[in-house]
Structure 1
Amino acid sequence: MPLKIVAAVAAAAFLSACTVNPYTGEKQAGKAATYGLGAAAVCGLAGAIDSGKHARNAALGCGIVGAGVGAYMDVQEAKLRQQLEGTGVRVAREGDNIRLIMPGNITFESNSYNVRSNFYPTLDSVGEVLAKYGDTDLRISGHTDNTGSRQLNETLSQRRAASVADYLSSRNIDRSRMQVQGMAYDQPIADNDSEQGRAQNRRVELYILPKAV
Structure 2
Amino acid sequence: MKNWLNLTAVAASVALLVGCTNNPYTGEQQAGKVGVYGGLGAVAGAAIGAATSSKKDRTKGALIGAAVGGAAAGGYGAYVDNQEAKLRQTLLNSGVQVQRDGDNLILIMPGNITFASSSANITSSFHPTLDSLVLVFKEFNKNGINIVGHTDNTGSLQLNQNLSNHRALSVANYLTTKGIAGSRISAYGVGPNQPIASNANEAGRAQNRRVEITLLPPQQ
**Of 75, 78, 88, which residue of structure 2 is paired with 1:81?**
88
Q: Deviations over 1:75-108 (max 9, x none)?
A: 1111111111111101111111111000000000
- Which structure has the higher relative contact order (CA within 8 Å, separation 6+)? 1
CA RMSD in angstroms comes to 2.9
Inter-partner Cα distance in structure 1 for 2:200 and 2:8:
59
Aligned length: 212
Inter-partner Cα distance in structure 2 for 1:45 and 1:204:
41
Deviates more, 1:157-166 or 1:25-34: 25-34
Inter-partner Cα distance in structure 2 for 1:28 and 1:128:
30
2:14 counterpart of 1:11: yes
Q: Name the TM-score, length of structure 1 as normaliser.
A: 0.85
2:108 counterpart of 1:105: no
Inter-partner Cα distance in structure 1 for 2:48 and 2:17:
19
Aligned to 1:30: 32
Mark the runs of 5 or more structure 2 residues left unpaired by the alignment. Answer: none
Inter-partner Cα distance in structure 2 for 1:107 and 1:90:
13
2:210 counterpart of 1:207: no
**Of 67, 74, 77, which residue of structure 2 is paired with 1:70?**
77
Structure 1 pair 13/30, CA: closer, same or farther in 2 (3 Å)?
Answer: closer
2:100 counterpart of 1:93: yes
The residue type equivalent to 1:196 in the other structure is A
Map residues 144-163 of structure 1 onto 2, 5 A cutoff.
144-163=151-170
Identity %: 50
Q: Deviations over 1:135-172 (max 9, x none)?
A: 11111000001011111111110110111111111222
Q: Is the 8 A contact 1:92 1:98 kept in 2?
A: yes
Aligned to 1:118: 125
Q: Deviations over 1:2-27 (max 9, x none)?
A: 99799669836862x55564445666
Structure showing greater radius of gyration is 2
Q: Is the 8 A contact 1:83 1:126 kept in 2?
A: yes
